[in-house]
């Protein structure tokens, strides 16, 4: 999907209604957390909506905008106000894969990722890498798509033999287990459904193409089968199509290590 996201950079913002809304709700959840990070990283930053919001929330922190698609990073740079560029107060841009971040261990106080990690076949290596780059006491907060995303549409697609190659998503219990396996403490998971309305399948497909996710989200089935599936997609009383997305939210902390890399237990002594 790297090429799809790179191509989508120019059209991403015009279709990123869901990502912007989920990012807003993620930010609201930070109101409940007392942290003062020195460095923050937006993992899979796209065109930079999230990292700009985080800069306003944590103005003293060094912001890192991280994405594997260079055109997305170019869009982040293009959106920087001139004063930020001149004073070097804009986000630092980092072209990298979340599974191999060129960052020192324990350098981030907050790692943020909005609707990105579900595109990985196995998110566990990414969680392990995020655990590595977080400082002790640092927070990981993220959102991703859950398995009930587009459930009604996929049900119709299966009836006509389409959608077999669509991406399948992990449920929040599996994600919680991965966080624990990666070393995180006290993971908290919850989910909600968010529906977007469309007048026609054409509008829905156009949005997914602009986002660079159409083939992954729907699969690469034949157009004849998909036409049948779209024709059977239920409409509401006003003739609108509802694309329902299961949004899984998670956050977890990096706790002090309980053992060394070679397996020896870590014992902490406190003077009284």
Distances (CA, A) of 143 to 7, 24, 26, 159, 231: 23, 11, 8, 30, 31
In the chain, % of residues over pLDDT 70: 92
**pLDDT band with cut points at 50, 70 and 90 for residue 271:** low
Residue 270 has pLDDT above 50, yes or no: no
pLDDT confidence of residue 268: 46
pLDDT confidence of residue 248: 98
**pLDDT band with cut points at 50, 70 and 90 for residue 259:** low
Residue 30, CA atoms < 13 Å, CB-side half-sphere:
22
Q: Average pLDDT for residues 211-236, to the nearest whole number?
A: 86
For residue 160, what is the DSSP state?
Answer: T
Find the helix packing angle between 49-57 and 17-29, rounded to 10°. Answer: 20
Among 54-63, 197-206, 253-262, which stretch is predicted with the lowest mean pLDDT? 253-262
In the chain, % of residues over pLDDT 90: 71
Per CATH, the homologous superfamily of domain 2-253 is: Vaccinia Virus protein VP39 (3.40.50.150)
pLDDT tens per residue across span 130-166 = 999 999 999 999 999 999 999 999 888 888 887 777 8
Rg (CA), the chain: 20
Find the helix packing angle between 172-181 and 124-133, rounded to 10°. Answer: 50
Q: For the sheet containing 185-198, what is the strand order?
A: 92-95, 62-67, 39-43, 108-114, 134-145, 241-253, 185-198
Q: Where are the domains of the chain?
A: 2-253
pLDDT tens per residue across span 27-53 = 999 999 999 999 999 999 999 999 999
Mind giving me the DSSP string for 222-268? Answer: -HHHHHHHHHHS-B-TTS-EEEEEEEEEEEEE-PPPSB-TTSPBP--
pLDDT tens per residue across span 38-93 = 999 999 999 999 999 999 999 999 999 999 999 999 999 998 887 777 677 789 99
């Amino acid at each position: 999907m790297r090429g799809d996201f790179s191509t989508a950079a120019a059209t991403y913002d015009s279709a990123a209604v869901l990502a912007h809304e989920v990012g807003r709700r993620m930010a609201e959840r930070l109101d409940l957390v007392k942290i003062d990070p020195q460095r923050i990283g937006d993992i899979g930053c796209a065109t930079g909506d999230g990292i700009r919001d985080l800069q306003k929330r944590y103005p003293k922190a060094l912001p890192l905008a991280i994405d594997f698609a260079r055109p997305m990073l170019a869009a982040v740079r293009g959106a920087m106000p001139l004063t930020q560029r001149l004073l070097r107060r804009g986000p630092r841009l980092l072209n990298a894969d979340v599974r191999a971040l060129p960052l020192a261990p324990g350098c981030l106080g907050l790692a943020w990722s909005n609707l990105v990690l579900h595109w990985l076949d196995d998110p566990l290596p990414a969680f392990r890498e995020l655990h590595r780059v977080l400082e002790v006491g640092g927070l990981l907060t993220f959102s991703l798509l859950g398995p009930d995303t587009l459930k009604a549409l996929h049900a119709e697609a299966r009836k006509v033999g389409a959608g077999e190659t669509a991406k399948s998503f992990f449920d929040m219990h599996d994600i919680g287990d991965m966080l624990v396996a990666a070393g995180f403490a006290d993971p908290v998971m919850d989910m909600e459904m968010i529906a977007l309305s469309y007048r026609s399948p054409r509008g829905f497909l156009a949005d997914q193409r602009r986002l660079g996710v159409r083939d992954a989200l729907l699969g690469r089935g034949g157009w004849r089968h998909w036409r049948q599936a779209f024709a059977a997609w239920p409409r509401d009383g006003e003739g609108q199509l509802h694309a329902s997305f299961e949004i899984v939210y998670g956050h977890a902390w990096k706790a002090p290590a309980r053992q060394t890399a070679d397996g020896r237990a870590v014992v902490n002594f406190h003077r009284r």
